[in-house]
Structure 1
Amino acid sequence: MEQRTLGKTARSVSTVGLGTWQLGADWGDVDPKDATAILHAAVDAGINFFDTADVYGDGRSEQTIGAFLADNPGLDITVATKMGRRVEQQPENYTLANFRQWIDRSRTNLRVDTLDLVQLHCPPSSVYSDAEVYDALDTLVSEGAIRNYGVSVERTDEAMAALKHGNIATIQIILNAFRLKPLDEVLPAAKAADVGVIARVPLASGLLSGKYSKDTTFAENDHRNYNRTGSAFDVGETFSGVDFSTGLNAVKEFGELVPDGVITAQAAIAWIIAQDGVTSVIPGARTVEQARANAAAADTGALGAELNKGVSKIYDRHFREAIHPRW
């Protein structure tokens, strides 16, 4: 699989990584043995980049990855984790003292002395402009607790605020065929600043797999059931913030653009990889088969100008009015 340099980390990561939220919680139940099998399948398919967070299953996702890496010490895997959602979302909670506690917990879960990459996990918007926050992160780098740091954002203006701070290594942002705004400013600015871009929610919570219908139901503990109105966290994390019925109509149109021999989900991932400035795309996988299929999207190659034009038309017709001003 093609690898790209992950911003200022100087590490080479696969263009398709593995998002591991689903190995912790909020996507229905995943058996621990199945979770380990998914990690193995991802690595076997050429993936060397895992993204996790300290709150995914209250640490279960990190612990699963930590055990996997301990059992496979020869693997060269870059692990990005996130911190900041373990407390009430108030700017004053983003302090060096709290960072130390959260990072120590993640180091224990992942069984490492130094974390490869730590990202602020969609904190209050003002945090992205707080110089003291970045000073604290720089301190943790100098002490050897973390190698690099980045931010995970909900909105493009938050990404642009973070880019003003010179030691930011990466930005993680929602980018998919239904969320195009990052293409306007964030990707060009990140590329100019040598900041890696990690594209999350690439399949719009599964909508862009083309496998859902109006009759599809989700488990009670699946965020695609309980967070459709944003009652638990930012609604943009669930189906990219798009109305489910509207998304079903849009994905039918997207499917008509997909070349023969390419499955819809792979086309959606390949389209993101082809966007200038993207480093890695991190779809999740709840089965070994999904992990393999997602990784195979990296071999799809460019799908042509017509797909790009079609994606823009779909966005303008179905989503721009509701999505573009909000995120």
Structure 2
Amino acid sequence: MTTSKIPAVQLGKTGPSVSRIGLGAMGMSGMYGAADDAESTATIHAALDAGANLIDTGDFYGAGHNELLIGKAIAERPREDVVLSVKFGALRGPGGTWGGVDNRPEALRNFLGYSLQRLGVDYVDVYRPARLDPNVPIEDTVGAIGELVEAGYVRHIGLSEVGADTIRRAAAVHPIADLQIEYSLISRGIEAEILPLCRELGIGVTAYGVLSRGLLSSSVQAGTTFAANDFRAHSPRFQGENLSRNLKLVDALAEIAAAKDVSVAQLAIAWVLTRGDDIVPVIGARRRERWTEAVDALDVSLTEDELATIEAAVPAEQIAGSRYAAEQMAMLDSER
């Protein structure tokens, strides 16, 4: 029942027109274990052919591998058919080590130069710091990106994983198209303060982690083990008793999904789609069949009673474990 054409929505009050769901490319560069470049490329092509135009990446995904992959995949496509969302600032060393965040104006100009080269494009549609740099005022970072907007190298400015105060300060410097942040049936922290503020300011939300890194799907089962280079090997929600407790909640969700003849993943995506047209799920599909499954969620309608049943079966407060390990949680301005 695949939808032949994905509808479009505007990303915030000032952002570009984007597909109702987007493609997150991080998993195509080894963040969840080994990936296949040929299948990843085919998935990007399948997304574009289905009517998706939003592709999200980060210059640090695979130390540049992700941008190179996307650049090759879109090389023969009209530039205006693709909305490229790029995160910057996270520092990586040899062997994939992490070295903090650098959002200084001179650094981000350097980062963008490399991104444009790897992607093979003249401009980036949405450019955003991946995390708040505690050593650089957000006004300086946004102001520098604003200069790149004026120069034509960036079309729109986005934010990622920042809290309400930072959002207000950033928006006072330059229009902000969207906030990229984790949001799912079991990660609902933005609902109290961040989402209402975004709506007040006309800022869209691109939601990642909609499937909670595979937890809200059929891909993770009891006893599942993860490779050392898989993010989930270090994520509290996927460890020991936490995973066992969380899978019991997923089992309850699976019963509801089965009654509607859809997958758990489709139900989880459909739930986020009901939260408002200003929230655009970014789905981290690495294979074509997973992308097709995600697109089919656009055809899943949920009544108010069904939404209540879903939320009662999987209460966010009952999820065991934080969404990142403690060190990474400490880097999230959105969690303060």
Q: TM-score, normalised by structure 1?
A: 0.86
- Written as runs of structure 1 = structure 2, the 5 A alignment for 1:124-203 is 124=133, 127=136, 130-153=138-161, 159=167, 162-163=170-171, 165-203=173-211
**Residue in structure 2 matched with residue 97 of structure 1 by the alignment:** 106
C-alpha separation between the residues in 1 aligned to 2:43 and 2:187? Answer: 27
Alignment coverage as a number of residue pairs? 314
Distance 1:73 1:317, change over 3 A: closer
Q: CA deviation at 1:162?
A: 4.4
* 2:318 is equivalent to residue 315 of structure 1: no
Corresponding residue for residue 331 of structure 2? none
Deviates more, 1:1-10 or 1:141-150: 1-10
Scaled by the length of structure 2, the TM-score of the pair is 0.84
Map of 1:253 onto structure 2: 252
On the 8 A contact 2:142/2:170 being kept in 1, the answer is: no
Q: Secondary structure at the match of 2:100?
A: coil
- Quickly say closer, same or farther: Cα 1:204–1:125, change in 2 above 3 A: farther
Give the counterpart of 1:205 among 213, 226, 242. Answer: 213
List runs of 5+ in structure 1 lacking aligned partners: 230-237
- Give the CA deviation at 1:161: 5.6
Contact kept, 8 Å, 1:202 with 1:269, in 2: the verdict is yes
1:267 is matched with which residue?
Answer: 267
Task: Compare 13-22 and 73-82 and name the one that shifted more.
Answer: 73-82
Corresponding residue of 1:289: 289
Give yes or no for the alignment of 1:18 onto 2:23. yes
Report the Cα distance in structure 2 between the residues aligned to 1:96 and 1:154, rounded to whole angstroms: 18
Equivalent in the alignment of 2:132: 123
SS of corresponding position for 2:184: coil
2:307 alignment partner AA: L
Structure 1 73/316 Cα, relative in aligned 2: closer, same or farther at 3 Å? closer
Q: Which amino acid aligns with 1:105?
A: Y
The more displaced of 116-125 and 309-318 is: 309-318
**CA pair 312-106 structure 1, distance change in 2 beyond 3 A:** farther
1:55 paired residue number: 60
Tell me, in whole angstroms, the C-alpha distance in 2 between the residues paired with 1:321 and 1:64: 33
In structure 2, how many angstroms separate the alpha carbons of the residues matched to 1:35 and 1:282? 16
Distance 2:193 2:184 in 1: 15
Q: Which amino acid aligns with 1:249?
A: K
Contact 2:59 2:115 (C-alpha < 8 Å) held by counterparts: yes
Partner of 1:235: none
Separation in 2, partners of 1:224, 1:65: 24
Work out the percentage of aligned pairs sharing the same amino acid. Answer: 30
Q: Classify 1:218/1:161 alpha carbon distance in 2 versus 1 (closer, same or farther; 3 Å).
A: farther
Q: 1:190 touches 1:277 (CA, 8 Å); kept in 2? A: no
CA distance in 1 between counterparts of 2:171 and 2:34 reads 37
Distance 1:79 1:208 in 2: 26
